[in-house]
Every structure is written in structure tokens, then in C-alpha cells.
Amino acid sequence: MQTPSSVVIRLRVNGDLRECAVTPSTTLLEALRYGLGLTGSKQGCDKGDCGACTVVVDGEPVLACISLALAYHDGAEVTTIEGVAEQGGPHPLQDAFDLTGAAQCGFCTPGILMSAWALLEKAPDPSREEVARALSGNLCRCTGYTKIFEAVEMAAARLRERGARRSP
Amino acid sequence: MDIPTGRAMPSDERLAPPAWEEGRTGPPHGEFSVIGKRNRKVEGLAKSTGQAIYADDLRLPRMLHAKLLRSIHAHARIRSIDASAALALAGVHAVITGKDLPEYYGIIPWTQDEQALCEEKARYTGDAIAAVAADSELIAEEALRLIRVDYEVLPAVMTIEEALAHPEIKVNERTKDGNISKHVHLDFGDVQAGLAGSDVVVEGDYWYEGSTHTPIEPHCCVADFDPTGFLTVWSSTQVAHYLHRDLARVLGLPTQRIRVVQPVVGGAFGGKSEPFSLEFCTAKLSMVTGRPVKILYTREEVFYAHRGRHPMRMRYRTGITREGKLTAVDATIKIDGGAYSSFGLVTTYYSGQLLTAPYAMPAYRFDSTRVFTNKPCCGPKRGHGSVQPRFAFECQLDKLAEAVGLDPFELRRRNLMGADARTVNGMRVTSNGFPQCLDAVERASGWKDKFRRLPYGRGVGVAGSMYISGTNYCIYPNEMPQSGVQLKLDRSGRATVFCGASDIGQGSDSMLAYIVCEELGLELRDVRVVAADTDLTPVDLGSYSSRETFMVGNACLDAARKLRHEVGETLARTWGCRRDEVVLANGVACSARDPGRECMSVKEAFQHTEARIGTLGSVGWYQSPKLGGDYRGGTIGASPAYSFTAHVVEVECDPETGFVEVKTVWIAHDCGRALSPVAVEGQMEGSAYMGLAEALLEEHVFKAAAPHHGPGLHDGPSLLDYRIPTSLDVPEFVSLIIESIDPEGPYGAKEAGEGPLHPSIPALANAIYDALGVRCDALPFSPPRVLRLLREPGARARWERARAQVGVSASC
């Protein structure tokens, strides 16, 4: 088999500019996980069905396992689960997932959390239905989703509180 | 099978759990400070920040990637395999076939019938035949295409009926009798007389479709055979100890030169509770190449690896008196096992043995037959072997209640067995909170205002169940403990718990930490849990049969309490008080007598204790008492404690389309004491979710032969085609924890991981009957099936008749 030769691309990930060798068929997920060691994003199906690989690009959740890495060369900022924590502490969403028991096995958690993060950036006070809709591309097999809904709502409330404290 | 070690008889002192003066079920002093509180999990933040390391997150220097070649035929003799072209491909390092791993293995020592790679015959489409290690997955995949397998295609049996009708088409040569994997017939009491003396006998045929676990993490394994001849295997397993033993057998290595490590596991549900081809193949390929090797199953391969819920065809005859007392139960069950045994021996017993509570049955008989078919092997999925019969039986109860004009709750109440009872098949029941479970769901759901009173299309249904808190015996017979814990305290103020227990998301690591915190007055962040690493941790048998909280928890309680007493003794001497006056809680040690003055940090208390008695460490272990019925198979189903569950499901059905929407599920579960209410609720919600998914959506089924392929292709081996519920498909779950406080559980705890799944399916079926007047006796309750039932004559009339009966039931 002719192995396609690699090229080096530049990815903007979590505020860093990182170089990574990829082939034309390397997915964004493979580049993140195996090229850059950002293993927080997970591979559950490798065909865009489960959402475990979800990252956020330009404020929108993107399935990294069916996105080609080459397309992100010198491109838009990619945020992964590793880029969500704040100044050495967990983001309120990450804290809320822990407090409510929203992460059982935790394998879907990074993807779900990224979808929720993108939602809360746009909709600070989402209804339960909006939360469910925003997470409908992410499969969880452990929780029945109840505690995930609670986590997102708890984080939203905390973020709103924080916003209220900051604005005069 | 190899000769088990550790057959020396243990002393009585070793077997008896320590008799602590504080008892085992209450707080160590005064009140609980950690147990029963809404705590974080020890690894919760690691998971929510993406820091938790799963098997596929591991990358070792020089690591190769391997892929498995899988049979394209459901049943075929392998005449020859030519891997020369694959080996010649640049980047390919090794190819192995069945000849390289000829040893048979299997989780049950008496039914070892699998090879890591089939040597002579493939028994299902997807059976592994060869493995290739290469520089990358892409090259390994390319190499698979170059392997030439000369198959002799054999006729295949694809259903229970075909397997029984064609014993000459032998799926699995390791059974003597045609395609019978296991047959169990057990009789308790006089069933004939019981049925004959009944006022009403209801007969019913039920079909339970197969389903699969579908953890979001695909199976993954990394093996590294290093130059010293030591093998390390990191695998997404839930049974590190059993894997350790089978690796040694199959690879011909001594167990003491193998280390099995379980990284964080991304869901299992029983689907990772035995060894798989990938573990043997990565290890063998690492031995052959001298380099680390990884296999990550594709999602499609996970569907073929399976070991999920057995399809069962069940026939029940259930008798009852006019007063609503059960007289006799007669069950005939046929089980589709797929191509191999897996846990099938146990499954076959469980299909009958686990039905005998929470209702008292004067007479019971079951006849269960598991057969081999040319399909992926079934195994233990959450609620192993007992979910299917429970579905059938709880639907029978609904029919019986209607037949004698009783409310389904009332019928169940008239047959309660209560606490401290013995079942008809000889199982000891201790704590039993089932009556409280019934009360809780009846009240919370508003049952009395809804049952037979909601408009056409809407309905409620109830069902109950029980489940084991661990099996009473190890899978391989031995006299050693089922769970061991080592605990280390050090002068930094930290505790480290070492235990072979397998956290698969249910929270066993956190459970260990909570117990240590409670006993030693530590805060959660001051406890580290080292688990499921055969080099570092004492043996625990693993995460199956809902055994971890009960068995590991007990082992941990004893280890922690030993050190608690040492610390208490030290401080009692320091302060001149009694040991039972020393309180350790929330990072502080003090005397109850004068907490203001006689007070220090637990860290200082540990240092004083270390100065007094030396380095601080302790061990604890658990071994269940001898239990079970006095007959062949009487220990299967025996458990030191049973959990109980009741569900009410409310549905809204569309009579035009047959679509069933579950609105709310009220789940009451008796888990003994809830060590962590958050975790218990999580198990209740997750269980109910999984049960409803099986009932409504999931079908693990296989295609028939077609012009371009033989039989046995999975109908939809992807997460799009195999439909598991999304966030838009789930109902409201209301979790009601019932705490019966078990006399032998750690602080009174029992299981919560599997029991709460059982009633969701029959409660839903009974709710559909309340809504539409049709009996869903076969899974899944999909729109086509419900529509078909609705179109049968008399459906609407049945619904009317059932409602007319409401006056009768309300008066009971």
C-alpha cells in the first residue's frame, strides 16, 4: 500500500498554535488525540453517530471524527474539553457534572460537555427542552440523561449568577 | 481446567466477619458524616475535565496497531489461511492465526469453548480468524484484505428452533448433545397439584428479543511484553482478575509474570466481563514482535463481540386462588445463546433461579434450555438472565390480577414473602424493602387516580423484581476471599486504598473512598483509590452480578475499622478517655468529652499512631457465608442479600401509529442503605433508561441470507441503525430510594446497579395494556407490533372491559 505522505499543518487549539503532521485522511479527532496528545475528546464510533468526539469550532459543536484535519490548517479556533477549564480550576459546567453525578463512566462526558458549553455560550438560561435538543447528538449509555440535564441547568444558573455579580 | 489453588480449608476465624462492637450497619460514631451524603465522586472532575485516561488514550513508544480478520460466513470450516501477501506488505510486523493461540478458554471453567482466533471453524459472521500487527491501523486493515482464507461454507442455524431441529448441524463441538449448550430442570413443591387446585390458571407465551450493551467506549487493549519476559496488559475489562488467569492459560505464561491493569472504563454493563480475542491477540502479537501492541475495536466489531441479552422464548403457567394467592408457577424457557458458552451455564440457571422473590410461591418448576446458534455469543447484560423471565412473570401477574378482579398492587401485596424468609428454591432472604417500594411508587405516581381511569391511549402499569447483591461463590471454586482490600495511612494525612474492584462508572472507587473517609474522619480529597491492577491490588473478583458495594464495601469497612481502632486507641491514651469517645470526622480528631480542648487534625492523629505502633496499614476481606439450596445448582442464585424494586410506568400511546411514548417512570429501589444517594439514583435512572430502550427500540438481530451474502450479518451494527435513546427520547425518571438496612451489608448497603432495570419492561407492557387493551408479550413494543395488536379483533372491547372492572379493583 502506498502510504500517503504527511504534511505539517498548524492548528489553533485551546488558544495555542500547534503543529501537527497529518495525511489527507487524518481526521481532526486523530490529529487532536494522537498528534497533539489531547485525548480528552473520545472516539466512540468513528462515523459521526455518538458525539463523544464533539469539539467546538466558532461557537458550534463539531464532530471531530468526521472532520478532516487538513481543513483546519491555519483555520478557526478549536476548543476541546482540555480548553474549557478556567485558570487552573474547573469550569462551572465541569464542576456541575461532578456535583450532580452527570458523569458515570465519563466516556461521553467530554463530548456532551462541549455541546452544553456551546449551548450556554449562546443561551444562558435554556429550558429543559433546549438542553435536551442541544445534547441530542451526544449519546450517553449510563445516566438516562437526567443528571446531565440537571448539571447543565446548575451550571447555567451559576454562570448567570457570576455574570450578574460581574456586571454593575 | 487448571487446578485451582487455595484449597486449604480456612479457619472459622478467617471466615467470620469481625464482630465490631459498633456493628456493621450504623455509623461508626453518632452520625454519618460522609455515608448517605450527596458527595462528589473521586474521579468525577478527572472525567469532566477530560483528564481521565481510558485504554485508547494510552500510547507507548514503538507501539504497533493490530486488527482482526473476521469470518464473512456464519458457519465455515477453515481449510487454510495464506497470510504471505499480508506479511510482505511494508509496515506489517506479524500475522497470527488460530495455530498460534490454540488453547481454549472461557469465563466458566467447565465450558471453555472459545479460541482467541478460530483454528478450524468459524461459528458466526464476525468470528475472529487472524490478527495483523502493523505500523498503523490503516496498514493493518490493508493487510487483512491480503489474507486469503479458504473456507468450506457450512449450513448455519440461526434460530432456537433451527438449532433444536438440526442437531446434525453442530455449531459448537464442545457440547455432547446436538446444539444444547445447557439444560436445567428444577422442581420445587408440587406444581401439578398447585395448578390443579388453582381457581385461575393463566398461560402465556413471551418472546424477549436480544439486545446489546453498547457502551460508548469500544473495547480496547494495549499489551506490552517487555524484554524481561514480563507482560503488562491494559484492557477495558470489568474482570481484571479473571482476565489475568485466562491470559496465563492461553499464553502459557505464569500468572506472576503478567500484570493486568484496568484503566478508566467507558461503560460496560456486563459487556466487558470476560476475556475477548483482542486481549489474547495484543499479548501474543507483543510477544511475537517484542513491541507494545494496541487493538481498538471498531463500533461494528463491538456489535459482533456482543455477549449481550439472550433472546428467550418463554412459556408460563401461573396459578392463583380466588383470593389472589399464587399457587404454582411453571416455566419453560428456550434461550438463544449464540455460538459459544460465555456465562451461559449461569444464564440458564438464572433464568429460573432468580424468579422466586419477592412473591412467595408454594410450588415452582422451570425447564430452561440454552442452545447454540451461528450468531455472536450472548452473555451477561445488566440483570443477567433474569430480566427476560421477570418480564414474562410480571405480565402474568397483571393478567392474573385482572382475572380475579384485583388491583395489580393488591395482588402483589397478597403474595409478599417479607423479610427473613426462604424462597421456594432455598434462597435465604434477609432484608426486604419490597412492600415499601410498592407503597412508594403507588403513592408517588398517583396510581389510584390513574389505573383504568385515564383516557384511551394513556395508561399506567406496575411491576416488581428482586436481584442479587453478588453471587455467593467465585466462578472458579476456591476457598480464598471474594474481595480483598489493603489500606495505607501515612504521616502526610493521606489514605490510599488498594483493591482489585473494577469501577466501570458505577462508582466503586468512590464507594471505597467514602467508607475510608467515614471510618477515619478524612475528607474525600485526602483519599486515593488504586484499583483493578493485579500488580498493586489484592484480588477482587470484579464488577459483575452487582457484587461490588456489598462485598468490596465489607472488605473495605473491615480494613478501615482496624486502623480506626488503632487511631482511636492512640488518642484515648493521649487524652485519657475511652476509645469509643474518640471521634474522627471531617479531617478532625477529638474526644466527645471535651472536643474544644481534646482535639487535633486527623493527620496529627495518624502521626501519633504511627509513632505508637509503627507503619500504618491494614487489610480487610469478604467471603460470603455458605448459602443456597441443597441440590445440584442450588448455589446458583444464592446471594448474601437481595435488592428489591418496583416501578410504575405511565405511557401515552398513539392508536393511529402504534407509537408508545413513556411519560414518567417512578422507580422505588431498596438498596439497603444508600452509601451515595447520587450514585444510587444514577443507577436507578440508568437502569430504567436501559430497560425501556430494550422494550421500545433495540433489536440485536441478524439478516437472513441474501443473493450477495450468507446469513448472520448484523442488521445495523452502528449507533445510528441500532437505536439507543437520545436526550430527546427519555421520559422523566423519579427515583425513590428505599433503605431496608441489610444486616450483613456494609452500613446495611445492598446492590443498586442491576435490580432497577428489571421492572421497567413489564411495567411498560402493563401500562400499554391499561392504555390500549393490548398485551405486548413480545419485545420490542415497536409501532408495527403495537399496531398489529391494535388491529386484532376485540382490542378496544378488552380495553372497555378492563375499565369496567375498576369498581371491583378499587374496593380491594
Q: What is the DSSP string of B228-241?
A: TS-EEEEE--S-HH
Please tell me whether residue B176 adopts helix, strand or coil conformation: coil
Phi-psi region of B426 (alpha: psi -120 to 50; beta: other; left: phi over 0): left
Is the preceding peptide bond at B102 cis, omega within 30 degrees of 0?
Answer: no
Check if the beta carbon of residue B211 is closer than 8 Å to that of residue B308: yes
CB B264 within 8 A of CB B48: no
How is residue B380 written as a grid cell?
451477561
Q: For residue B527, which of B578, B631, B602, B475 has the smallest C-alpha distance?
A: B602
pLDDT recorded at residue B313 = 98
Quote the minimal CA–CA distance from A107 to chain B in Å: 5
Contact between B772 and B800 (Cβ < 8 Å): no
What are the angstrom distances between the C-alpha of B514 and each of A164, B520, B801?
36, 10, 53
- Using a CB–CB cutoff of 8 Å, tell me whether A8 touches chain B: no
Contacts of B214 in chain A (CB under 8 A): 141
Quick one: DSSP state of residue B12?
A: H
* Cβ–Cβ below 8 Å for A105 and B216: yes
Residue B14's H or E segment, with its range, is helix B12-15
Query: Given CA atoms A115, B782, B393, B795 in this order, what sign does their dihedral have?
Result: positive
Does B216 contact A84 at a Cβ distance shorter than 8 Å?
no
B638: pLDDT strictly greater than 50: yes
- Are B387 and B691 within 8 A, CB to CB? yes
Contact B650, B445 (CB under 8 A): yes
CA distance B733 to B736: 10
Strand ranges in B285-337 using DSSP code E only, listed in sequence order: 293-296, 312-320, 326-336
Closest residue by Cα to residue A115 from A57, A66, A154:
A57
- Nearest-angstrom CA–CA distance, B734 and B739: 16
**What confidence score (pLDDT) does residue B29 get?**
85
Looking at the predicted structure, is the pLDDT value of residue B1 above 50?
Answer: no
Tell which residue, B302, B259, B275, has the closest CA to residue B68: B302
A132 to B53: CB separation less than 8 angstroms, yes or no:
no
Q: B754-776: per-residue pLDDT in tens?
A: 999 999 999 999 999 999 999 99
Q: What DSSP designation does A54 have? A: E
* Range of weakest confidence among A1-10, A22-31, B325-334, B536-545: A1-10
Express each pLDDT in B233-285 by its tens digit.
999 999 999 999 999 999 999 999 999 999 999 999 999 999 999 999 999 99
Name the residue type at position B282. Answer: T
CB B130 within 8 A of CB B117: yes
Q: Residues 106 to 125 of A: which have CB under 8 A from any B CB? A: 106-110, 113
Please list the residue range(s) of chain A that carry CATH number 3.10.20.30: 7-83
Tell whether the model's pLDDT for residue A1 goes beyond 80. no
Round to whole Å and give the CA distance between B692 and B387.
12
Q: How far is CA B596 from CA B346, B420, B588, B599, in A?
A: 57, 45, 11, 6
pLDDT above 70 covers what percent of chain B? 98
CA pair distance A139, A145, nearest whole angstrom: 9
Q: Which residue has the cell 448455589?
A: B635
pLDDT, chain B, mean: 96
Looking at residue B522, the DSSP 8-state letter turns out to be -
Residue range(s) of every CATH 1.10.150.120 domain in chain A: 92-163
Say if the Cβ atoms of A45 and B299 lie within 8 Å: yes
- What is B17-52+481-622's CATH topology? Aldehyde Oxidoreductase; domain 4 (3.30.365)
**Model confidence over B544-561: pLDDT tens digits?**
999 999 999 999 999 999
Interface test with B, best of A146, A147, A153 (most B CBs within 10 A): A146
- A65 three-state secondary structure: helix
**Residue B810 pLDDT exceeds 70:** no
Spatial contact of A47 and A66, defined as CB atoms under 8 Å apart: yes
CB proximity list for B530: less than 8 A, separation 6 or greater: B496, B497, B498, B499, B536, B537
Q: Do domains B17-52+481-622 and B55-154+218-265+272-305 have the same CATH topology?
A: no
Tell which residue, B510, B531, B412, has the closest CA to residue B466.
B412
User: Is the pLDDT higher at B642 or at A86?
Assistant: B642
What is the separation of C-alpha B793 from the centre of its chain, rounded to a whole number of angstroms? 41
Q: Which among A133, A144, A146 has the least Cβ separation from residue B728?
A: A133
Query: What is the CATH code of the structural domain delimited by A92-163?
Result: 1.10.150.120
In angstroms, the Cα distances linking B158 to B166, B285, B334, B371, B707 are 11, 33, 14, 11, 17
User: Closest residue of A to B52, CA-based?
Assistant: A40
pTM value? 0.97
Identify the sign of the CA torsion B427, B208, B105, B531: negative
Say how many CB pairs under 8 Å bridge A and B: 187
Q: What value does the mean pLDDT take over residues B524-549? A: 97
Q: Which of B498, B501, B486, B494 is nearest to B521 (CA)?
A: B494
What band does A2 get if pLDDT is binned at 50, 70 and 90?
low
- Residue A47: partners with Cβ closer than 8 Å, 6 or more residues away: A65, A66, B299, B718, B720
Of B215, B299, B686, the CB nearest to A144: B686
Set of cell numbers at residue B798? 378488552
pLDDT at B329 over 60: yes
> CB neighbours of B708 closer than 8 A, spacing ≥ 6?
none
Residue A88 has pLDDT above 90, yes or no: no
pLDDT range class, residue B5, cuts 50, 70, 90: low
The owner of cell 471454586 is B477
B723 vs B726: CA distance, rounded Å: 9
Q: How far apart are CA B409 and CA B403, in angstroms?
A: 14
pLDDT at residue B473, as a whole number: 87
Whether A82 sits inside 8 A of B265 (CB atoms) is no
Domain residue ranges of chain B, discontinuous segments joined by +: 17-52+481-622, 55-154+218-265+272-305, 312-473+630-811
State the Cα–Cα distance between residues B598 and B640, nearest whole angstrom: 41
Residues in chain B within 8 Å Cβ distance of A93? 48
Could you report the per-residue pLDDT of B411-457, keeping only the tens digit for each? 999 999 999 999 999 999 999 999 999 999 999 999 999 999 999 99
Question: What's the rounded mean pLDDT across residues B459-479?
Answer: 95
* Contact by Cβ (8 Å): A163, A103: no
Pick the CATH number of A7-83 from 3.30.70.3270, 3.90.1150.10, 1.10.15.40, 3.10.20.30: 3.10.20.30
Task: pLDDT band for B17, please (50, 70, 90 cuts).
Answer: confident
pLDDT for position B6: 66
The model's confidence at residue B812, banded by pLDDT at 50, 70 and 90, is very low
**Structure confidence by residue, pLDDT tens digits, B599-626:** 999 999 999 999 999 999 999 999 999 9
Residue A66 reports pLDDT greater than 80: yes
CA distance B510 to B314: 39
Q: Which three cell numbers stand for residue B114?
A: 472459545
pLDDT at A4 (0 to 100): 72
Mean pLDDT of B476-488: 96
Strands B588-591 and B582-585: antiparallel
Per-residue model confidence (pLDDT) at position B558: 98
The CA distance from B170 to B257, in Å, is: 38
**In Å, how far is B264's CA from the nearest CA of chain A?**
8
Residue-level pLDDT at A168: 63
Q: Is the pLDDT of residue B811 over 50?
A: no
- The CATH class of the B55-154+218-265+272-305 domain is alpha beta
3-class DSSP assignment, residue B153: strand
| Grid cell locating B189 | 413443591
Kindly identify which residue of chain A lies nearest to residue B268, measuring between CA atoms. Answer: A105
Q: How confident is the model at residue B787 (pLDDT cuts 50, 70, 90)?
A: very high
Q: Assign 3-state DSSP to chain A and report helix, strand, coil percentages, each to 5.
A: 40, 15, 40
CATH of span B312-473+630-811 = 3.30.365.10
| Averaged pLDDT of chain A | 95
Would the CB atoms of B216 and A139 count as touching at under 8 Å? yes
Q: Give me the pLDDT at residue B36, please.
A: 98
What average pLDDT does range B740-764 have in this prediction?
98
A45 at the B interface (CB within 8 A)? yes
Range B105-118 average pLDDT: 97
Residue B322's φ and ψ, nearest 5 degrees, are -60, -30
Residue A164 has pLDDT above 50, yes or no: yes
Range B741-751 average pLDDT: 98
How many CB atoms within 10 Å of residue A71? 10
